Amino acid sequence: MKRIISVLMENAPGALSRIIGVFSQRGYNVDSLCVAPTNDPSLSRLTIITHGDSKIIEQITKQVNKLIDVLKVADLTEGAHIERELMLIKVATRTEAIRAEVKRNTDIFRARIVDVNAHNYTIEITGTTDKLDAFALTMSQASEIIESSRTGVCGLGRGERALRP
């Protein structure tokens, strides 16, 4: 089962490698990973998408929490939450018809064209992983995907739930 593990940690050198280390040395899966400093620059927030049974997920949260640099760990999938991922996708637009089809689908998905070239468009889209997958599939049917880059999921709990130091 897919899980979203959210981690609040010291924005310190080596902190990220320790977390990645826990996953590799204990054989846990990382499907995606998204990390950046928070509004407090001494802290980083990291979101890991992983999967496993509840026993494994419990061990993941405990083992990550045990790291000295880690302040808080939460499994966002345990409650209501918001998750978003960003994708930049470059698609070929060689004919007028393809350009129109790409533009039309971009509007339908509420994505945005952020760069235009003679032979391609670069489109920005945010949403859940499913939505991004669906958009990529649509684009591959409408035209040819030249390249794409995704950030991995980041997320927050809904309402009062928060990870704070």
What angle do the packed helices 15-25 and 54-66 form, to 10 degrees? 150
Q: Is 13 or 159 the residue whose CB approaches other proteins more closely?
A: 13
Q: Is the C-alpha dihedral spanning 46, 83, 112, 148 positive or negative?
A: positive
Q: In Å, how far from its chain's centre is CA 126?
A: 10
For 135, the 3-state DSSP assignment is helix
Q: Is 29 or 117 the residue whose CB approaches other proteins more closely?
A: 29
Residues that bind other proteins (CB under 8 A): 9-10, 13-14, 17-18, 21, 25, 55, 58-59, 62-63, 65-71, 165
- What's the min distance (Å) between Cβ of 15 and other proteins? 9
Q: Is 45 or 90 the residue whose CB approaches other proteins more closely?
A: 45
- What's the min distance (Å) between Cβ of 9 and other proteins? 7
- What's the min distance (Å) between Cβ of 35 and other proteins? 16
